[in-house]
Amino acid sequence: MYRDLEHRLAQHIREFLRSSYGVDLEKIVIEQPRVELGEYAMPLAFELAKKLRKAPRKIAEEIVSDIGSIDGFAKLEVAGAGYINARVDRTALAVALAKNDKPAVESSSGKVLVEHSSINPNKAAHIGHLRNAILGDTFVRLLQFAGRTVDVQNYIDNTGVQVADVVVGFLHLDKKSRAQIEELAGKPRFDYYCWDLYAKVSQWYEQSAENKKVRLQTLHEIEEGRNETAAVAELISTAVLRRHLETMDRLDIEYDFLPRESEILHLHFWDAAFEKLKEAGVLSFETEGKNKGCWVMRRAGTSGVARAPSPAGNEAETGAISSTVDQDPERVSEEDQKVIVRSNGTVGYVGKDIAFHMWKFGLLGRDFGYRKFYSYPNGHQCWISAEHGEPEHPHFGDVERTYNVIDARQSEAQNAVIEALRGLGHGEYADKLTHFSYEMVALTPRCAAELGYELSEDDKGRAYIEVSGRRGFGVKADDLLDALIAAAKQEVNSRHPELAESERQKISEQIAIGALRYFMLKYTKPSVIAFDFKDALSFEGETGPYAQYAVVRASNIFRKGGLDPNAFCRDVASNVSAEELTKFLGDNDLWELWLSASKTAYIIDQCIATTEPAYLAKHVFQLAQLFNTFYHRYPILSEADESRKRFLLATAAVVRRELTRALGVMGIQVPPVM
């Protein structure tokens, strides 16, 4: 509602300026003043002063005098040296909020793809992966709230070096056969076994150069496919992937499709992309220097475009790459080169990612096979790529826009994909590929110590402790969830011993998951997070439990008054009249609470436009704060004035509904008690 009023105000102002002054302002800047000054503030008179050669206040006075009435607004006022403050019709906005009116939203008909998680299937998921998955899942929910159709994909690099390392561990350190590995893979938490093995392999590589050669040979065999090493890699990566999905399911995070790198190779996605990249001159072949024998492209951010005609022959079919190439006079300098195909003929990560993104936008002319892989408890089906799939399947790909939730360290690779799309002549799709980047997750020294890690005196004085999968130092996602649930359970047990064990367990899970999701979302994406159990689970301050508790408090008001909170909140408008709203909303403190509750859609639009879910977390916290102040200031159930009591109950109801809704978009459930 707040969002729609802002759009209406901006459009009315824009049309007035065009008709009265012949001025077109593409963007009308609208600020949010203190509530006693109005709901919107516009500094546009200052922007117009030079064009119209008038004082800003004079322009503001003319606009306020001549613009006429605007539906939903009580009046416009001139403030200070030329601000225009807009006051909404409080009663009209409150009635719409009480009715839960949802104005029509203009939404693109195209499908949006959100790719997130993308955990290497070589060991257990860790705390850093949780930030990625929670950010991605929340962004999916934001888009769905805004009416978009979303495909949720989780890219699986099952032929990369990390998987190769674990294969080396099983075959060369543990000396296990495929049958023995298969038996292990069927046991609980196989991903934990792989976690420890991965750290051992990293240490083994450091012992000799010969050991590192085993990695290269293993990687080559996995990429080649159809051999024993590739079969072992398939077995391990599939078992670990299934564990990852189980871990994320605990957080109510689901996927629609799991595209795998193995199919990008074996279904010749890269071969098709390679031909197109050569034809467009995006790639050039190096005949000298450190990248001799490699196919390279110009790094993103450097000037010019590398262009070289493709060598003759059918290397796309044979895998061989000719070195007979006529070089373009504008040769890319070595420091500006990004290697896409190595001199041994293997394609790097960026090359495969370029092919994958061409498929995403329907530019490749090829498709995956699809087969069912994982069924969620709610019946939702997750599909996986295959060389030979099922005849009936959903349609994936051909999307209008894609968001890739990948950490900030992958910026160069993401920019290379974007520049490749531009070089292919698909600038419109390059503009619709968004790198949803974020920073790492670390641990506070206190948290690391609580998890059993030995810290030096220097470590104890640090702001945070970095984690490292190769060293085996980090927090497994399932361990973190278990620890959070156990801590929440202690509190729930002490507060509600009368509840059944199963109910206390469910409440503990809701509190723990709410705490984790909120903690990961409240920081802006460029912030390094130092995770801490005590901070995350606190019932005070900017935490998930604090926001959940505000909703529980609101529900308790209704229960103590003999009312069903869900029924009352579904039909707030029938429990309070427009006259009562007008009578009591003159109080700015009460009005601020209603106004804040009306901003959910406005904040969600802001989150989508900036790819920053932290704005919604901040909104939830501020609304919970305002409600808690209201809760302590107004003893609703003992209010003698029945009219005022109805209004106060309606206030609690709309805040409860909007907090529950906003928390739901963050993937946070509200328990019945806390």
Q: Alpha carbon 391 to chain centroid distance? A: 32
How far is Cα 295 from Cα 321, in angstroms, rounded to an integer?
Answer: 9
What the block records as the tokens of 573 is 């408008």
Q: What's the whole-number average pLDDT of the chain? A: 92
Residues 519, 520, 522, 523, CA torsion sign: positive
- Can you tell me the mean pLDDT for 393-400? 95
**Structure tokens that stand for 384 in this block:** 């996986």
In DSSP terms, 476 is beta-bridged to: 126
Which residue reads 């800003």 in tokens? 56
User: Where do runs of H (alpha helix) occur along 349-456?
Assistant: 349-360, 411-423, 427-430, 445-450
Exposure on the CB side of residue 633, measured as CA atoms within 13 A: 11
DSSP string over 128-160: HHHHHHHHHHHHHHHHHHTT--EEEE--B-TTS
Q: Cα separations (Å) of 463 from 199, 438, 459, 518?
A: 25, 19, 9, 21
Q: Is 551 exposed, middle or buried (0-12, 13-18, 19+ CB in 10 A)?
A: buried
Residues 6+ apart with CB under 8 A from 74: 87, 88, 89, 90
641 backbone dihedrals φ, ψ, rounded to 5°: -80, 110
Q: Please report the pLDDT score of residue 319 as a whole number.
A: 38
Among 241, 204, 262, 256, CA closest to 124:
241
Q: What is the pLDDT of residue 421?
A: 97
The tokens of 280 are what?
């467009």
Largest CA distance in the chain: 92
Q: Residue 569 is encoded by which pair of tokens?
A: 């909140």
Fill in the amino acid letter for 72: G
Confirm if 91 and 585 have CB atoms less than 8 A apart: yes
pLDDT of residue 472: 60
DSSP state of 45: H
Is the distance from CB of 573 to CB of 592 less than 8 angstroms? no
CA atoms within 13 A on the CB side of 596: 25
Q: In this structure, are residues 492 and 515 in contact, taking their beta carbons and an 8 Å threshold?
A: no
pLDDT in tens, 244-292: 999 999 999 999 999 999 999 999 999 999 999 999 999 999 999 999 9
How many whole angstroms separate alpha carbon 105 and alpha carbon 564? 31
Arithmetic mean of pLDDT, 483-508 = 96
Higher pLDDT, 317 or 34: 34
Pinpoint the alpha helices (H) of 499-564. 501-522, 533-537, 544-560
Element (H, E) at 114: strand 112-115
What are the tens digits of pLDDT across the range 181-207? 999 999 999 999 999 999 999 999 999
Among the listed residues 72, 75, 78, 132, the one whose alpha carbon sits nearest the alpha carbon of residue 96: 72
The HSE-up count of residue 292 (CA atoms within 13 Å, CB side) is: 4
Q: What are phi and psi of 45, to 5 degrees?
A: -60, -30
C-alpha atoms less than 13 angstroms from C-alpha of 239 in its C-beta half-sphere:
24
CB atoms within 10 A of CB 645: 18
Give the DSSP H/E element, type plus range, for residue 629: helix 614-633
Nearest-CA neighbor of 138 among 465, 471, 544? 544
Residue 488 has pLDDT above 90, yes or no: yes
**Which tokens in the block code for residue 483?**
């620890």
Q: Answer yes or no: is pLDDT of 304 > 60.
A: no
Give the bridge partners for 88, in sequence order: 73
> What would the mean pLDDT of 617-642 be, rounded to a whole number?
97
Nearest to 140 by CA among 244, 251, 241, 239: 251
Mean pLDDT of 379-388: 97
Alpha-carbon gap, residue 116 to 611, rounded angstroms: 13
What phi and psi, each to the nearest 5 degrees, are found at residue 100?
60, 40
pLDDT of residue 1: 84
Pairwise pLDDT comparison (538 vs 615), residue with the higher score: 615
226: part of which helix (H) or strand (E)? Answer: none
- pLDDT class of 102 with cuts at 50, 70, 90: confident
Average pLDDT on 600-624 reads: 97
d(CA 577, CA 29): 35
Q: Cα torsion for 239, 241, 247, 249, to the nearest 10°?
A: -110
Report the alpha-carbon distance of residue 205 to residue 161 in Å, rounded.
Answer: 13
If residue 52 lies in a helix (H) or strand (E), which one and from where to where? helix 44-52
**pLDDT for position 164:** 96
Q: What is the pLDDT of residues 34-62, one digit of tens each?
A: 999 999 999 999 999 999 999 999 999 99
Distance CA 447, CA 463 (A): 11
| Residue 322 confidence (pLDDT) | 38
pTM: 0.92
For 12-21, 126-135, 454-463, 475-484, which range has the lowest pLDDT when averaged over its residues?
454-463
The alpha carbon of 496 is separated from its chain's Cα centroid by a whole number of angstroms, namely 35
